[in-house]
Structure 1
Amino acid sequence: MADDQLSEVFELVEVRGLVSGGFSVCGRWVSRAALQESFKFMAVVAGSARLMTDGIDAPIELLPGDVAILNNRSRLELAGGTGDGPVREVMPVEDGLSLTEADWTTNDIILGGRIDLNGAGRTLLLEALPPVAHVRASPTSGANLRGSIHRLFDEVAGNRIGSAFAIRQHAQLVLLEVLRAYVEQAELPPGWLRVLTDERLRPALTLMHSQPDQLWGLNELARAAAMSRTAFAERFREVSGMPPRAYLNRWRMMLAQRALRDADVSVGSLATELGYASESAFSTAFKREVGESPLRYRFRVRDQALSS
């Protein structure tokens, strides 16, 4: 299933959707912020908002249940409300956010957060999404998304025991539902998200994902996809933005990064598991893809985990 492969990628890139702020406001309002995060998401729980950021020509109207992901943007402006009163400047509350008294019938209720990823994940999401990925809460694909947003809101507003853990889990589910809905609503650019959802290429992807130690050739992959060698190669490059061998190498490096983070396997053993002829060949490929040697990567990410 494509969702299973998407779940695989989620685990490998350490997707963490974190709620970092929100507000409930009645009347005319505006909220502005400079952005440092690579990826920021906003979810409209109730009411509506107009979103502006660098890289778009006109405001994006966000309705109840809509979510927007900002991809590597530098500024954000949200505005909403009606009436004749003055425009109120709103600052999102980041700690002790209390929405238990929010009036869903009159207020605009907004949740916002950042999406934390490891280096591989940042690269993948940067190429998969436009400057603003607007996901609408449509009747077909939006039901699960609306439900996830409401459950996230309930945890944020309820402030119950274990809410911090629950908020992290619900935020990740919101992000997963956003990507699922985005796949259905938008024409995806070439990249990992598009190739994971391509029905014709799925059998070939399954081979590469399940047996990364094999040096899969075009003939074998094309046969699995029931396509000619030429047609398969052309479609794979068109959909993924790279040839099959480059995709397989990237997949291997993502698996290697997880193993170096989470397991105590030796570099030599890992090289063998991933199909490299020698530890040296694996280390060279890893450094070319990741920018540092396998051991340096292991020490750095584990030090970061201990200090966080």
Structure 2
Amino acid sequence: MTDPLAEVVMLLRPATRFYKHVVGAGSWQVERSDAGEPFYCAVIEGTCRLALDGSEGIVLQAGDFVLVPAAHGVATSSLDVPDGAANSVPVALGGGMFRIGEQRGPTDLRMLIGHCSFDSPDSALLVSLMPQLIHVRGQSRLQTLVQLLADESREERPAREVVLARLLEVLFIEALRSISATGVARGLVQALSEPRLAAAIRAMHARPTHPWTVNELAKEAALSRSAFFERFNRVLGMPPMEYLLVWRMAVAKDLLRREEISIAAVAERVGYSSASTFSVAFPRHVGCPPARYAAENRGGAEDSEFISPSAA
């Protein structure tokens, strides 16, 4: 069965960029700007508070996992930090470990935090289909995955980057499907949790070449046309046909970047009747012709037989 959530995460192609092991004691707080980068945090021991963009925040406890697909202002602190307290400066202890708060005596907090990157030009779009904050509690599988990620990041083992990439893919999917997110009202995860919308989304992903109409998708969802359109637009944040176009173009761009394939073959695999029709639609969405996109993102030549619109 087609799994749209897994497909979205795999298209994002998460890659490890930064990781550290943090221990803390006493009163402390750290505020930072992450410029929209993906952020994750796993609390191994103790409690702390996490807030995004000046919000009141949530209390995290041992065993909690947080994933923020696009973090901007992130603040973490002990629960007893006074108002107006200065930012704490983490002290490097070596071996990828840092200490915050009181620098002597026993610690009362241990957590793994990190950033990754998404190797996809469609990352902003795909991230917009996810919740702003994913907070998972009581999922030992996620703790195991994070620990594996931490162990792998510290060792220079063969195929290290491949293993890290695969662990991150699994971690993202596990976090999203184990979701007990706070304040999730829209997005792909929410849509897939609604059986009727999920049926239509899976149909689009399973048969992207089919000439779908709103009426057909409404039948897949067992809803009237108007009810389906309204619910899809409200939960996904875009109309059904726009989502289908966005998904087709994301797949097309991925094919053009990764495979030596003709424009005609790409057009066929994403539901266009001809290379010329696809070559007209692609620039409207991407901003350049598919041949140029392939050449610039794969390093090939414009006149390569693999990127010629007329190639069979």
Question: Structure 1 CA distance, aligned partners of 2:130 and 2:62?
Answer: 25
Residue 22 of structure 1 aligns with an amino acid whose one-letter code is: K
Query: Match for residue 23 of structure 1?
Result: 21
Question: Structure 1 CA distance, aligned partners of 2:214 and 2:298?
Answer: 37
Give me the TM-score of the superposition, normalised by structure 2: 0.77
Residue 185 of structure 2 aligns with an amino acid whose one-letter code is: P
Question: Structure 1 CA distance, aligned partners of 2:121 and 2:288?
Answer: 12
Q: Is there any run of 5+ residues in structure 1 with no aligned partner, and where?
A: none
Query: Match for residue 232 of structure 2?
Result: 236
Query: Match for residue 120 of structure 1?
Result: 122
Question: Structure 1 CA distance, aligned partners of 2:177 and 2:16?
Answer: 18
Structure 1 pair 164–59 and aligned structure 2 pair: CA distance change class (3 A): same
Query: Match for residue 209 of structure 2?
Result: 213
TM-superposed CA distance for 1:260, in Å, is 0.4
Residue 6 of structure 2 aligns with an amino acid whose one-letter code is: S
Deviations 1:206-258 (A, max 9, x none): 33212212211233222233333333233322332222222221121121012
Query: Match for residue 69 of structure 1?
Result: 67
Alignment of 1:105-184 (within 5 A): 106-130=108-132, 133-138=133-138, 142-156=139-153, 159=155, 161-162=157-158, 163-182=160-179, 184=180
The answer as to 2:110 corresponding to 1:90 is: no
TM-superposed CA distance for 1:20, in Å, is 0.7
Query: Match for residue 190 of structure 1?
Result: 186
Residue 21 of structure 2 aligns with an amino acid whose one-letter code is: F
Deviations 1:44-103 (A, max 9, x none): 2333322244241x24322223233345444433233889xx99620578x95269xxx9
Question: Structure 2 CA distance, aligned partners of 1:33 and 1:241?
Answer: 29
Structure 1 pair 134–12 and aligned structure 2 pair: CA distance change class (3 A): closer
Query: Match for residue 10 of structure 1?
Result: 9
SS at match of 1:260: helix
Residue 281 of structure 1 aligns with an amino acid whose one-letter code is: T
Alignment size in residue pairs: 288
Residue 37 of structure 2 aligns with an amino acid whose one-letter code is: S
**Identity of aligned pairs, percent?**
28
Question: Structure 2 CA distance, aligned partners of 1:160 and 1:81?
Answer: 37
Question: Structure 1 CA distance, aligned partners of 2:236 and 2:226?
Answer: 16
Query: Match for residue 221 of structure 2?
Result: 225
SS at match of 1:200: helix
Residue 223 of structure 1 aligns with an amino acid whose one-letter code is: K
Residue 143 of structure 1 aligns with an amino acid whose one-letter code is: S
Query: Match for residue 34 of structure 1?
Result: 33
Query: Match for residue 246 of structure 2?
Result: 250
SS at match of 1:128: coil
Residue 60 of structure 2 aligns with an amino acid whose one-letter code is: L
Query: Match for residue 102 of structure 2?
Result: none
Preserved contact between residue 34 and residue 74 of structure 1 (Cα < 8 Å) = yes
Question: Structure 1 CA distance, aligned partners of 2:92 and 2:126?
Answer: 29
Preserved contact between residue 67 and residue 135 of structure 1 (Cα < 8 Å) = yes
Preserved contact between residue 65 and residue 149 of structure 1 (Cα < 8 Å) = no
Preserved contact between residue 25 and residue 107 of structure 2 (Cα < 8 Å) = no
Moved more, 184-193 or 231-240: 184-193
Preserved contact between residue 66 and residue 137 of structure 1 (Cα < 8 Å) = yes
Structure 1 pair 68–250 and aligned structure 2 pair: CA distance change class (3 A): same
Question: Structure 1 CA distance, aligned partners of 2:192 and 2:37?
Answer: 23
Q: Is there any run of 5+ residues in structure 2 with no aligned partner, and where?
A: 99-104, 301-312
Preserved contact between residue 43 and residue 149 of structure 1 (Cα < 8 Å) = yes
SS at match of 1:78: strand
Structure 1 pair 213–188 and aligned structure 2 pair: CA distance change class (3 A): same
Structure 1 pair 32–212 and aligned structure 2 pair: CA distance change class (3 A): same
